[in-house]
Amino acid sequence: MEPLRVAFLWHQHQPYYKHPEKEFFILPWVRLHALKDYYDLAALLEEFPDIRQNFNLVPSLLLQIQDYLNGARDYVQILSEKPAAELTTEEKADILHYFFQVNWDRLVKPYPDYERLLKKRGLKFDPKHPEAALRRFSVQDFLDLQVWYNLCWIGESHKGQKPFSRLLKKGKNFTEAEKKELLESQRSILEKIIPLHKKLAQNGQIELSTTPFYHPILPLLCDTTIARMSQGNIQLPRYRFRYPEDAEEQIVRALHYFEKTFGFLPAGMWPAEGSVSEEAIELFARKGIRWIATDEEILFASWGLMGIREKMTREDLYRPYAYRTESGEEIVLFFRDHVLSDLIGFVYQRWDPEEAAEDFVKRLRSIRASIVQRYGEKRLRHSLVSVILDGENCWEFYVQNGRPFLEALYRKLSGATDLACTTFSDFLKNQYEPEYLTRIFAGSWINHNFSIWIGHPEDNRAWEYLYETRLAWQKAKEEGRVSPEALDAAYEEILIAEGSDWCWWYGEEHPTENAAEFDTLFRSHLIRAFELIEQEPPRKFFDPIRTEVRKRVAIQKPIGFIDPVIDGRESNYFEWLGAGSLDARRVGTAMHAASQAVESIQYGFNLEEFFLKIVFSKEIRQAVDEVEIELHFLSPAELKMRLPVAKLHHCQVCEEVLIWKRGKWVRESDGIRAAYDRFLEFSIPFKRLRAKVGQKVEFLIRVRRAGNVIETWPPDLAFEFEVPGEDFEQIEWKV
């Protein structure tokens, strides 16, 4: 009996979570999915030697796994490691926010002691107002929560092993020593992931493929106007992004990194989000890629371009197709069965595992029967069903992380004589006879278009920022005024920003608790690119792109005149009474709190001068030699200045103030006073700001450490006030 061949491809991917100015990963998903999914999904195959599959490993994921093994950490890890008795209020609030970001039904409620902590926190929790929940948690509760969040992510392969089994049984009243043992044991799981995939590939049980390095939507890097092929009326960004050389670089870097990691070059690539265009496919073929894969809707739309759609049937989906590029290379395309893939990804999680596995196999047999009925049994030698989906995201919605379902499915497939699992390359080697496509429709595996990543005002703004950064980098390169090392580093930031995940979270399609973090990461890479080429990042890059993040910070405005002594100390209690203020500790996301540089800001004025006071965090006070404050007055006239904090000890008129003039920084005090002791105090005459009574003054505060911007205040929009007249206090008193 000729079997119907089935190719599973598990796509393993995470974006690059390291902030360019920080030493840790902002989000923990690489580590947590490594503990739960990346090892387990591959390791299960060792129990079923007849099951052969494909694993697509994205370089940005592999790079981060290796970084963890080299000592890198993420913010959740840092919060977990800290002794519970030493946690600050802000850190406790972050733990309550972060340590329940998991599927509650599958990974919290099965554990009564973990669920007790969730109920104690409350199912609805506002991280900006954590006070009530904080009062309900003891030190032991926080310690137990630190353990549970890291414990619940341990995969089924390891839950029966110590120390995990012992901790699961204990459930509560964990010790710091037990927590340390748990965190240290996680490393042993991460260490096994890459060697396991390498071993299975060498044994021929799996085929490894990869994706362009930072997971970019390659057709859009080649030319954003290609989005109009699938959506003729789409609103595109103001600037046309057309950098096929970047698309090629993403492919080349992926191939080099893959070969360095595994010792051989892959035959195939899964384009990020299954995104293809004829121009992108040309690049794949030119770099020696033998096969790629995408969604069935791309095939159907390609038939439409060729004018043969009505001649084709569903059975024609189940074979690979060849495409010959303009330059003469040939590449094979596989098209996934959308229904079968989505059944695993979204549907079977709610089914009994045995019934789900039986339904899947029954559907495969129905496909086999329809192919035989239409074309005869000989066609099966050239037929392949492609099942392609994310390999990490669906399993936390399954009972026991999907293991009962996969075991049942693999058991049924192993015992079948009419079905056989294979890899793409082996199928091509032993079975393939080419059927050619002359046209390829441009789109992704989602609705055969690119609307997730372009067209929404937020997506378009991101593409415009990326274009402006890329253009500035190109100009700096042509002018030759920046070192090759700095250019290379800036280009790396641009390549990271070209990844698909940033725009995945812009727009209205995909809500997430981590929207602010993704937004900040994207813009931070662009800002860092500008800094590396020694240019000032555009002001707008410091404002959130995502609409729900663009909320004005609550700032208390000045209500009275002040006249503080500029000495960096509290000369008397009343000197800042009446000033405007911002409590920075109550602003922003968990990421902000992780590296908080500023605790509070106060500002005010008398009739002649503007005053500013900045209180730094303990971390910044200990590293004050590296810190500069940049003040950027936006109106009524633009003025930028930098204050090197460590050089302002007990200053009054300070010669160390730098003013941005005609494209360079020059020393100029000119009535400016500044001092640092317990905090920073600063004053500048209104005449120096060219500000007259009634005019609006807008300004930003940027904190630089070792030359790099680490925080901007306020994080959205700007501080603003009107230059006061003599009746200011009377007006405010009436209000």
Query: What is the tens place of the pLDDT at every residue in 97-151?
Result: 999 999 999 999 999 999 999 999 998 888 888 999 999 999 999 999 999 999 9
Return d(Cα 403, Cα 107) in angstroms, integer: 14
pLDDT at 593 over 80: no
**Which pLDDT value is given to residue 735?**
36
**Which pLDDT value is given to residue 560?**
87
Return d(Cα 230, Cα 447) in angstroms, integer: 9
Nearest to 389 by CA among 452, 344, 447: 344
Between 387 and 570, residue with greater pLDDT = 387
Q: Are 324 and 434 in contact (CB under 8 A)?
A: no
Least confident range from 438-447, 502-511, 648-657: namely 648-657
Q: Are 633 and 619 in contact (CB under 8 A)?
A: no
Return d(Cα 454, Cα 56) in angstroms, integer: 25
- Rounded average pLDDT over 401-417: 97
**Which pLDDT value is given to residue 572?**
78
pLDDT at 265 over 90: yes
Distance from the Cα of residue 487 to its chain's centroid = 23
Q: Give the bridge partners for 223, in sequence order.
A: none
**Which pLDDT value is given to residue 733?**
41
Q: Over the range 496-516, which residues count as b (16 or more CB within 10 Å of their CB) and which as e? A: bbbbbbbbbbbbeeeeeebbb
Between 581 and 181, residue with greater pLDDT = 181
Q: What are 691's two structure tokens?
A: 């500000």
CATH of domain 457-549: 1.20.1430.10
431 falls in which pLDDT band (50, 70, 90)? low
Q: What are 59's two structure tokens?
A: 């370089």
- Rounded average pLDDT over 345-349: 90
CA-to-CA dists, residue 96 to 75, 119, 146, angstroms? 14, 11, 10
CA-to-CA dists, residue 25 to 37, 73, 78, 97, angstroms? 19, 6, 10, 17
User: Could you write out the three-class secondary structure of 470-497?
Assistant: HHHHHHHHHHCCCCHHHHHHHHHHHHHH
pTM for the whole thing? 0.80
Least confident range from 87-96, 97-106, 311-320, 571-580: namely 571-580
Kindly state the percentage of the chain with pLDDT values over 90: 76
The residue extents of the domains of the chain are 25-201, 457-549, 580-734
For strands 321-324 and 330-336, give the pairing. antiparallel
594 falls in which pLDDT band (50, 70, 90)? very low
| Angle between helices 139-151 and 176-202 in degrees, nearest 10 | 10
Least confident range from 43-52, 249-258, 552-561, 621-630: namely 552-561
Instruction: Give the burial class of 714: count Cβ atoms within 10 A of its Cβ; 0-12 exposed, 13-18 middle, 19 or more buried.
Output: buried
Between 618 and 249, residue with greater pLDDT = 249
- Rounded average pLDDT over 546-560: 70
At residue 308, the 3 state secondary structure works out as coil
pLDDT at 2 over 70: yes
- Rounded average pLDDT over 291-305: 97
**Which pLDDT value is given to residue 587?**
53
- The CATH class of 580-734 is mainly beta
Residue 622 φ then ψ, to 5°:
-75, -15
Look at the alpha carbons of 722, 724, 725, 731 in this order and tell me if their dihedral is positive or negative.
positive
652 falls in which pLDDT band (50, 70, 90)? low
592 falls in which pLDDT band (50, 70, 90)? very low
- Residue owning tokens 């050239």: 382
Q: Over the range 234-249, which residues count as b (16 or more CB within 10 Å of their CB) and which as e? A: bebbebebbbbebbbb
| Angle between helices 244-262 and 176-202 in degrees, nearest 10 | 100
**Which pLDDT value is given to residue 590?**
29
Return d(Cα 91, Cα 78) in angstroms, integer: 10
- How far the first Cα of the chain sits from its last, in Å, is 88
In this structure, the number of other CB atoms found within 10 A of the CB of residue 417 comes to 8
**Which pLDDT value is given to residue 726?**
84
For strands 53-57 and 436-437, give the pairing. unpaired
Q: Are 211 and 272 in contact (CB under 8 A)?
A: yes
- Rounded average pLDDT over 213-227: 98
Summarize pLDDT for 160-186 with one digit per residue, the tens: 999 999 999 999 999 999 999 999 999
730 falls in which pLDDT band (50, 70, 90)? low
Least confident range from 352-366, 579-593, 669-683: namely 579-593
**Which pLDDT value is given to residue 734?**
38
Return d(Cα 291, Cα 208) in angstroms, integer: 12
- Residue owning tokens 């929790």: 125
At residue 668, the 3 state secondary structure works out as coil
Q: Are 717 and 699 in contact (CB under 8 A)?
A: no
584 falls in which pLDDT band (50, 70, 90)? confident
Q: What are 210's two structure tokens?
A: 């990869």
**Which pLDDT value is given to residue 434?**
79
Cα Rg, the chain, nearest whole Å: 29
- Rounded average pLDDT over 34-56: 98
CA-to-CA dists, residue 329 to 205, 324, 442, 721, angstroms? 29, 6, 19, 64
- Rounded average pLDDT over 284-305: 97
Nearest to 210 by CA among 56, 28, 324: 56
pLDDT at 304 over 70: yes
Mean pLDDT of the chain: 92
- Residue 395, CA atoms < 13 Å, CB-side half-sphere: 27
Q: What is the DSSP letter of 644?
A: E
pLDDT at 570 over 90: no
